[in-house]
């Protein structure tokens, strides 16, 4: 098979990136475009051998990178961000071809965020500090020491943005990285390797390996030389990774999605509430933070539903390369089968489709809203990860909070209310890592991000990221005892 493919005019190397060089694998896997099902290319399919080589390269490069000054590490991260911005259009179109998300979103939001991820953690590194403090005359000094090689396993719904969200703080901290992108959307990770090399990142500091979790992922997460593992994805896969890492007590950061509520109270601005609710169809519903459970106070439920249907049915679904498109395809045939399975089982159990409830041509799934669903129904309790919302009603605040918290997850929550007192009361009771009041998806990298319950382990963002990717050290120095001065 050829070592390179061309996607939308962009040349992409399909081999592994290990130790600063391209490495072929004996086998490949097929990468499909969700837009039309066309074959984008055959991608190097790694296994235990590639995992060993990549971790070995990261281990060898670690002492030199860890000893590199903060200023120089930050400079190189900014140079990588420069490379991302120079190739922004190429990255945007390749990502759209590979995972089906809107090209306009990639151009205007996602790829600029990729560069921002790199710049933010470069700048945070330079400011990272903890004020010294005294204990009985002794000086305490806290420092963040690089931990070692890190394995970063990233999802397919926002491949490059979520990759750099992990890569940037790991590299800034002085660690070396083995990045394994999802096999359904591997292409921009390969381009990131090229951009990083061109920016002057030393060989072996960033390695990119491709393949299936059961073949290369298990070998990476069980490796005794790996000092950190960060994973974004499903709960079953996270359990497998945790079991694999347990033998070496390798620290984990896990972001595992959710089943987030969107609460609409009777005093809410209904137009705002509807806008926020329809926004949950973004990226064809493939957003971990999406408020897929609409919980609406009984007194405004009928009017809310009427306005929601009016707005949602005017969404344009089609080719994500078209600027007018609002909803593109789902990422893979298996994902569409999963989404439709959830919906059809819900309908068979008595759910009523207010809109949608069916597949369309190819990998396009109609935006769906289901009502007449029980709180213990599968469609209410389990993450669908598609353009499928449920609508339930509540009578008062207590019931709203009870319904909102009544799942195994706790990633995010959104509430719409005109009463600041109510907002304060309700948010204090919600089990969620992030709560939005009268807004959605407002994100700042200096804020902690993560989930409660099965939505994850740990927090990322700002100093929390460095706390994870580093070994924190406290050095206590006595006020006396020096025998040499100068």
Q: Which residues are catalytic?
A: 255, 288
Residues whose CB falls within 8 Å of the CB of residue 281, separated by 6 or more in sequence, listed in order: 312, 315, 326, 327, 367, 387, 389
* Six-digit token string for 106: 């990639």
β-strand pairing of 10-13 with 412-416: unpaired
* Residue 271 CB-density burial (10 A; 0-12 exposed, 13-18 middle, 19+ buried): exposed
Long-range contacts of 477-483 (CB under 8 A, 24+ apart): 477/138, 477/139, 477/141, 478/137, 478/138, 479/137, 479/138, 479/139
Burial 187-197 (b: 16+ CB within 10 A, else e): bbbbbbbbbbb
- Cβ 460 vs Cβ 450: under 8 Å: yes
Residue 388's region, left for phi above 0, alpha for psi from -120 to 50, else beta, is beta
**159-172 and 70-86 helices, crossing angle to 10°:** 160
- Cβ 46 vs Cβ 58: under 8 Å: no
| Three-state helix/strand/coil letters over 269-314 | CHHHHHHHHHHHHHHHHCCCCCCCEEEEEHHHHHHHHHHHHHHHCC
β-strand pairing of 261-264 with 293-297: parallel
Distances (CA, A) of 306 to 78, 199, 205, 301, 395: 48, 53, 54, 9, 19
How many residues are there in the chain?
486
């Amino acid at each position: 098979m050829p070592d390179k493919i061309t996607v939308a005019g962009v040349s992409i190397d399909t081999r592994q990136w290990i130790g600063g060089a391209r490495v072929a694998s004996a086998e490949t896997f097929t990468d499909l475009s969700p837009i039309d099902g066309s074959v984008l290319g055959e991608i190097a399919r790694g296994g235990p051998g590639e995992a060993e080589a990549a971790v070995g390269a990261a281990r060898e490069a670690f002492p030199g990178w860890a000893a590199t000054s903060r200023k120089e590490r930050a400079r190189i991260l900014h140079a990588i961000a420069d490379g991302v911005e120079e190739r922004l259009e190429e990255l945007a179109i390749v990502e759209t071809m590979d995972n089906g998300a809107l090209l306009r979103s990639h151009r205007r939001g996602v790829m600029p965020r990729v560069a921002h991820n790199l710049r933010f953690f470069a700048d945070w590194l330079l400011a990272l500090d903890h004020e010294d403090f005294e204990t009985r005359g002794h000086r305490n000094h806290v420092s963040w020491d690089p931990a070692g090689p890190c394995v970063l396993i990233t999802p397919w719904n926002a491949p490059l943005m979520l990759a750099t969200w992990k890569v940037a703080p790991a590299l800034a901290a002085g660690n070396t990285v083995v990045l394994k992108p999802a096999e359904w959307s591997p292409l921009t990770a390969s381009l990131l390797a090229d951009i990083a090399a061109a920016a002057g990142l030393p060989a072996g500091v960033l390695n990119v390996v491709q393949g299936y979790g059961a073949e290369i992922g298990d070998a990476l997460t069980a490796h005794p030389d790996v000092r950190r593992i960060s994973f974004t994805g499903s709960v079953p896969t996270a359990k497998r990774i945790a079991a694999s890492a347990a033998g070496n007590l390798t620290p984990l950061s896990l972001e595992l999605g959710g089943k987030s509520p969107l609460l609409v109270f009777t005093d809410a601005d209904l137009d705002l509430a509807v806008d926020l609710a329809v926004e949950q169809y973004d990226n064809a519903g493939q957003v971990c933070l999406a408020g897929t459970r609409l919980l609406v106070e009984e007194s405004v439920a009928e009017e809310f539903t009427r306005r929601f249907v009016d707005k949602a049915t005017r969404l344009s679904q089609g080719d994500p390369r078209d600027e007018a498109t609002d909803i593109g395809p789902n990422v893979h045939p298996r994902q569409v089968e999963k989404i439709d399975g959830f919906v059809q089982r819900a309908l068979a159990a008595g759910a009523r489709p207010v809109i949608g409830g069916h597949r369309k041509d190819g990998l396009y799934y109609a935006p769906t809203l289901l009502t007449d669903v029980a709180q213990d129904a599968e469609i209410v309790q389990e993450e669908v990860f598609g353009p499928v919302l449920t609508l339930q009603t509540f009578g008062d605040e207590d019931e709203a909070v009870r319904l909102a918290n009544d799942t195994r997850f706790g990633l995010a929550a959104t509430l719409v209310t005109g009463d600041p007192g109510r907002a304060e009361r309700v948010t204090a009771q919600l089990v969620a890592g992030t709560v939005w009041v009268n807004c959605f998806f407002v994100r700042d990298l200096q804020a902690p991000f993560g989930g409660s319950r099965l939505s994850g382990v740990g927090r990322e963002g700002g100093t929390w990221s460095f706390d994870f990717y580093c070994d924190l050290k406290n050095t206590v120095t006595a006020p006396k005892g020096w025998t040499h001065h100068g």
